[in-house]
Homo-oligomer: A and B are copies of this chain.
Amino acid sequence: MQAISAVPVSEGSTPRSRRISIGARIYAAGTDGIAWRVKSGAVRLDRITSEGRDYAGLALSGDVIGAETLLYGCYSFEAYAIGDCELEPWLSADTTLSGESLLRTLAGAERRAADALALRAGEAFQRVRRLCLLLARYREDGRREITIPELRDMAAITNLTEATVSRAMSRLRRMGLLQRQGHRRGLVLPGADPVFAC
């Protein structure tokens, strides 16, 4: 297998769920492996070019990454966890039979691609705000929380600079739309529920 940063809990020979911590690489382009479904967390996909890596896509809960391995045998993109991730193998055998699961994945990918495009339009503050909205998840108590990715990743996704993203995040905090929660890196949560309203 390729360079992995968390233990792929193998039972017998079938790969099981993986947990990847924020910042770690999930897989490298060109290596072989299986397709995964993102159970939780956020994944940044990069395309390898002559001048390095370029942000090429975003995957969130429910999305499938690495489906191209079922065709080509290896990954086309490079995947990084930009939030603590839980991945489960995405079974080719079952889904190929049904076809509906594949269709659902295709439709989801197109919607996610539209989201990613929208994150690169509009003014800086709004882009960062919308990215935070996209990354937010509901807790049991009904409030939302998000794991803030590294600035460099937010900058790549929104096509802004780290400085600009930092300023936008500061403003969100000053406005009370984001609050730091504890000391764990990147973990914050909004105050009331109609937060992010602007």
* Residues of chain B lying within 8 A (CB to CB) of residue A67: 103, 106-107, 110
Q: Could you say which residues of chain B place their CB within 8 Å of the CB of A68?
A: 103, 106-107, 110
- List A36-83 residues whose CB lies under 8 Å from chain B: 45, 47, 54-57, 67-68, 70-72, 76-77
Q: How many angstroms between the C-alpha atoms of A96 and B55 in the bound complex?
A: 31
Q: Check: A99 CB closer than 8 A to any chain B CB.
A: yes
A21 CB within 8 Å of chain B:
no
Whole-angstrom CA separation of A113 from B59 in the bound complex: 12
Question: Contacts A120-B159, A159-B120, A159-B121: A57 and B105 contacting too (C-beta < 8 A)?
Answer: no
* Copies of this protein, total: 2
Chain A 111-153, CB within 8 Å of chain B: the 1/0 string?
A: 1011011101100000000000000000000000000000000
Interface flag for A100 (CB, 8 Å): yes
How many interface residues does A have (CB within 8 Å)?
35
Contact A120 B118 (CB under 8 A): no
Whole-angstrom distance between the Cβ of A32 and the nearest chain B Cβ: 15
Given A121-B159, A159-B121, residue A114 in contact with residue B57 (CB < 8 A): yes
Q: List the B side residues contacting A187 at CB < 8 Å.
A: none
Centre residue among A76, A77, A107 by max chain B CB count within 10 A: A107
Inter-chain contacts of A114 with B (CB < 8 A): 45, 47, 56-57, 77
Residue of B nearest to A112 (CB): B113
Supposing A67-B106, A107-B67, A120-B120 touch, asked if A99 and B100 sit within 8 A by C-beta, the answer is no
